[in-house]
Chain A
Amino acid sequence: MRSLIAKFAGKLHRDRSAVQGRVGIAVQDDVMISEGAPDLSRLTVDVLSRLSCLGVVAASPSLPFAEFLLRRANADAEAIVPLDTETRTFLHDIPIVRRAELAGDPAAAIAALLSNRKGVIAEGVGIVASGPVTLEQAYIHYSSVFHACYVKYLLDVLQDGFLLPGEEDAFRDFRKTSLRPLTSEELFFSASHLDDPEEVLAEIRTVGRYTVQRGLVDSFFGNISYRVGETIFISQTAASLDELAGCIDPVPMDNRSTTGITASSELLAHRRIYEATGARAILHGHPKFAVVMSMLCEEKGCPVKDCWKDCPNVRMLGDTPVVAGEIGAGGLAVRVPPVIGAPGKAIVYGHGVFTIGRDGFEEAFRSMVDVESRCREEYFRRLDARAGRQSKSE
């Protein structure tokens, strides 16, 4: 158990989602074990002791977005509702608990909310998330809340500007120091046309790790595949991209075996992309700026209400098509394959990016870097334009 705590504390630091030294984790087996910052560690123990649950993670997020969202919310709001696909599908909404409500027994207040949701934002504390089955699940829920807050805050700022004292300075700091340059430089990709299964597995593991190391994708958010003849080698459902050893399924193209029942929920999308494009490699992840930009539809008077699922249009973000579609059996597999062939990339509304490599992963990786870089540039271009408009009107 202690090794698991160390592992996930390490991941929270490496993926830069938590402030160094501001993580607390508790796990209960037949006894309770906790480690980390003393105050957060105590809090996780107190929360976990009130829940039928295996583990709890509490940490100060490395960015203040969750805190800002909480403070920007209406005084009577009990939750914030990010609208990215991850939240829409798995979190529903994210409960918030304010400082005043934490004054008496903060663990009781947080546990009451966690008894109904996977993660909460506690003012002055950070993000607290639970894992009913495993500690990894608590880490995933923390990451999901972090990701959702990141996306929502960027969208809100673009729409409403800065509303709180200190917010603009914090955002400037984020823009200047937190964003790593996106690049595929100095990464080594195998030569094209791999045929040996062992080499394919090794390449998938390597490229999965690259996506996380380069900050394109958070550990848990994405999937990856490579086609050899009539077999798709694809990462398994709920697998972390930086830990794919033993988590890649060989799936026959003709469905003569159902071994791939544990493959990623996007298996159907991957299969159809291979059929439509003849590509050899597919990379899918949830880079945050691409998710943000995909949700900025400027269509006026559109009758579609459920854009994620029902929008029939193909929009263009630069040279990248954006389509609707939900995960798994939700239509994404229908809408992505027809548009991804020529540009080699596509974005799914509120969800993430698919890129293909006609020969191998290098092209797919470069495309994903390119899409996220352009989305990042476009986001800040629009933000700066908004600031310009605002200052003119002042």
Chain B
Amino acid sequence: MSLREHILIVDLSSGRMRREEISPEFLGTYLGGRGLGVRLLRGRHTLSPFDPSMPVVFAVGPLCGTPAPTSARISVVSRSPLTGTVYDCSAGGRFAWRLRAAGLLAILVEGRSARPVVLAVTSAGEELLPASDLWAKGVGDTVRALSDRGSVAAIGPAGENGVLFSSIMMGEGNAVGRGGLGAVLGMKNLKAVTVDGDRVMPVADRERFDRARADVLRLFRASPVIFGELGISEYGTPALVDLMRQRRMAPTENFRRTVFVGAGAYSGPTIRAAYGAKKEGCYGCPIRCKKRASDGRPLPEYETVSHFGALNAIADLHSIVRSNDACNDLGMDTITAAATLSAWGEARGRFPSPEEIGTLLHDIAHRRGEGILLSEGSRRVAEALGMPGVSMSVKSLELPAYDPRGAYGMALAYVTSNRGGCHLRAYPISHEILRKPVASDRFSFSGKARMIKIAEDTNAAVDSLVACKFAFFGASIEEYAELLSAVTGEDHTPQGLKEIGERVYLTERFYNAENGFTRADDDLPARFFSEAGSSGEGIDVPPIDRARFGEELTKYYRIRGLRDDGSFPDGGFLERQP
């Protein structure tokens, strides 16, 4: 990179803070975002997530702060208390570009403050502010209290109380969700981070940049998923509700069925009609997939409506929106919260009613009553109840709203994801369901091992840039390599970016291996191999063939250069990496 990039290192134990330059060579091999964060964990990746010395890295990418579409995102990287895996999650909003405009590519937070604090960063410098008066407040009140300090990333009561699926919430309503990094901040007594910069990011070759940006926008316009009249720009991700129901792969009643007859209650058009949904976007994003109600509340995403809906057999839109509001304010991941309630519901023989859910969510965030157990996520709940099979998770991370019996690449991607049961690593839904960039046969494993490997590498690069996955329903890594070349003044190719992604991916897997993860952890819940989904309307949804699944997984390992048991051929992988 031609630009001198800096990282802020914050030791909360001592209160010391320092800005350091990041070596250009180092950035060239990890880019930023997820890649940089993963690299910075090296050496401390086997610490407990709650060890004060475990770092939490906030990192943006080299496109952030420029008009590169969908690139004002931040990755937060640490080790997940829910899964034990290395963990990253990206979020949009305004935080990322304001961080970069404050002169920083990244912040690394380590140690533990004796008292609650807020880290406040501006172009002029940084300070730790006392935050005892904010402790125990919800995210909404916290953000409002800090609103004169720029963009806010905050935790709510869930993070403070160590809920294993607590989120870090961006002030605009975006979440660093899933893996419980809110609890890692909570353990550090860090209530919030605020950023407010005013620097403008340079672009090395403006003409090249404008050309590449125009290419990206043209591809967005050509993508029905993005700008189609039924796409995510119009309806947000709940545009997927009707499609997943039609494809018979909407997880219902804790994945016992794959069609929910009440799904129309929370479809994209229904939400628009009920809440007067308005478009909103992350900074500089032309897609504007976020939707807000006419009263300003952020409306839920597809996974949230589906899991607080079908997964718990609830067809009450207002209950679902209230659940989303509660999770956002309490600072909890909606997917895991809903999936944990669903697993618990199956175990006790009754799913929670819409009336019960609000109380349960508050009990979870404050770790009281039933919430003490539920705050640990579905795997621990299921094990405690003596029914481990009802946790629909991989590596303790609850599966999102794409039933793997309806998309075999997704089935494979769930188990090979380094952060557990996540749809966003290889994101095969893109080609298996949404036909982008081309369609693949969703009921076939043929070629899927290679496809998943390539997509994981590509998306690791995307997460290191840090761009939004939705951009790739239209554009490709080819156009983003061109944007990067224009910004940095150095030539980058899609192939080169994929190689960076492969390095990031394998580093994560190596960390996980050192923390005891093996092939046995790369597995789906048994239900998917023994129970059929909801066949009908000409679509047959049988159980997944375990033998064929295993065969493709072995292929995947071979393609990755791993042994057939998923382990590394030698222990020297990290030493060979920059």
A interface list, Cβ under 8 A from B:
1, 4, 27-30, 51-54, 88-90, 92, 115-118, 131-137, 140, 236-239, 247, 251, 255-265, 267-268, 271, 326-330
Contacts and interface: CB of A to CB of B under 8 A. Distances in A.
A30 B229 contact: no
B451 A89 contact: no
Contact of B230 (A89, A133, A261): A261
B interface SS class: helix
A interface SS class: loop
B219 to A, nearest CB: 6
A261 B268 CA distance: 11
A330 B221 contact: yes
- State the 3 A-B residue pairs at the shortest beta-carbon distance, nearest first: A115-B495, A329-B227, A30-B555
B19 interface: no
A115 B435 contact: no
Contacts of A4: 446-447
Interface in B422-454: 431, 433-440, 446-447, 449-451, 454
A136 B438 contact: yes
A263 B437 CA distance: 13
A262 B224 contact: yes
B224 A267 contact: yes
Given A116-B481, A258-B241, A261-B243, A52 B228 contact: no
B499 interface: yes
B269 A258 contact: yes
Given A251-B230, A265-B224, A116 B269 contact: no
Contact of A259 (B246, B439, B450): B246
B215 interface: yes
Contact of A328 (B224, B437, B558): B224
B493 interface: yes
Contacts of B558: 30
Given A133-B454, A258-B230, A330 B222 contact: yes
Contacts of B457: 52
A176 B436 CA distance: 39
Contact of B223 (A115, A136, A247, A265): A265
B222 A326 contact: yes
B502 A116 contact: no
Given A52-B502, A258-B242, A265-B223, A134 B438 contact: yes
A262 B434 CA distance: 6
A53 to B, nearest CB: 7
Contact of B243 (A53, A116, A262, A264): A262
A261 B231 contact: yes
B225 interface: yes
Contacts of A136: 438-439
Nearest to A332: B221
Given A30-B449, A238-B436, A328-B224, A118 B478 contact: yes
B200 interface: no
B240 interface: yes
B68 to A, nearest CB: 16
A330 B222 CA distance: 7
A253 B231 CA distance: 15
B450 A29 contact: yes
A88 B222 CA distance: 12
Interface string B290-334: 000000000000000000000000000000000000000000000
A260 B221 contact: no
Contacts of B498: 52
A338 B534 CA distance: 45
Given A255-B230, A258-B268, A258-B269, A264 B449 contact: no
Contacts of A265: 222-224, 228
B239 interface: yes
